[in-house]
Amino acid sequence: MRIASFNINGVRARMPRLLEWLEERRPTVACLQEIKCQDADFPAHEFEKIGYRAIWHGQKGFNGVAILADGSEPFEIQRGLGGDPEDEQSRYIEAEVGGVRVCNLYLPNGNPQPGPKFDYKLAWMRRLRARMAELRAAEVPAVVLGDFNVIPEDKDTFSVRAMASDALTQPETRDAYFRILNDGWTDAIDTLNPRGGVWTYWDFQAGAWQRDQGFRIDHLLLSPECADRLVAAGVDKAYRGREKASDHAPVWVELRD
DNA sequence: ATGGCTTTAAAATAAAGA
């Protein structure tokens, strides 16, 4: 099975491009972030017409996540990340699909740093680590994927200097990410591309796409039960160059059945 | 150059993104 993640940056604005990608690439599971719509406005019917069933967790104006599955309805396990009853942002949804636990997240950006948004990001990462520890303890095959808003290492950005004061590269951000990995998770794209230089995001501004000035912030983390089944992982880079594209490209992992 | 684009919300600007 192939499990994909795509920060779509406004699901309604991207529908033609998104349907195109689903039909051309036909992922078994497609996780979306930044759907930027309320629950009532999610275009579930458009996905059903091409054979995908969906669950989603929307929010007015920004954030919002969804899980699409080819030919079956994802079995919802959890919506929203635990650990903070005050947190009302729609950034997490978890489901069972084809015997795999699929955990789709849109991690807070955290800029500007320092400040309350950065504090929220770091707190969110601690809460995520707690949820992922539960999944590890249960020993279920799990893929935790999405827009992490983390540039893990210097090799994951076109310019270390340009990103030096950005929340995505701060030592605290990276520490939190590697604390999670060291609990026993495998970063699929990094494992298959250890030298780096793989981008998943290119800014809309300053000709970043044309200059190939991007970075890697969309990640697919595999539990040991899934890491044993890793066949391939990659970025559908060409979709970033199409008309009315998102600023992210889709990322995917292929698991042996 | 806290710029440079783009979407959403809502009616002209403002917030958010990374």
By residue range, what is the domain housing residue A137?
2-255
pLDDT at A41: 96
pLDDT digits (tens, 9 = 90+) for A183-200: 999 999 999 999 999 999
What does the pLDDT look like over A135-176, one tens digit per residue? Answer: 999 999 999 999 999 999 999 999 999 999 999 999 999 999
CA dihedral A117, A119, A125, A128 (to 10 degrees): -90
Query: Is any atom of nucleic acid chain B found less than 7 Å from the CB of residue A201?
Result: yes
The answer to whether strand B lies under 7 Å from the CB of residue A204 is yes
Confidence of residue A51 (pLDDT cuts 50, 70, 90): very high
pLDDT tens-place string over residues A87-135: 999 999 999 999 999 999 999 999 999 999 999 999 999 999 999 999 9
Closest to A189 (Cα-Cα) out of A139, A148, A129: A148
- What is the reported pLDDT for A200? 98
Cβ burial, residue A164 (10 Å; 0-12/13-18/19+): exposed
Find which nucleotide's C1' atom is closest to A167's CA. B18
State whether the beta carbon of A225 lies below 7 angstroms from any atom of strand B: no
| Mean pLDDT of all residues in A206-230 | 97
* Average pLDDT value over all residues in chain A: 97
Residue A48: other Cβ atoms inside 10 A = 12
Query: Within 7 Å: CB of A9 and strand B?
Result: yes
Mean pLDDT over residues A54-82, rounded? 97
**Tokens matching residue A122:** 């770091």
Binned at pLDDT 50, 70 and 90, residue A202 comes out as very high
- pLDDT of A125 reads 98
CB A95 within 8 A of CB A67: yes
Q: List, in sequence order, every beta strand (DSSP E) within chain A.
A: 2-7, 29-33, 52-57, 65-70, 75-79, 92-97, 100-106, 142-147, 186-187, 201-202, 214-215, 218-222, 230-235, 251-255
The reported pTM is: 0.97
Catalytic option among A147, A156, A166, A190: A147
| A189 vs A198: CA distance, rounded Å | 8
Report the CATH number that the domain containing residue A147 is assigned in CATH: 3.60.10.10
DSSP A130: H
- Cα gap A90→A65, rounded to integer Å: 7
Q: DSSP string covering A52-70, please?
A: EEEEEE--SSS--EEEEEE
Averaged pLDDT, A237-254:
97
Write down the pLDDT at residue A105.
98
Counting the structural domains of chain A, the total is: 1
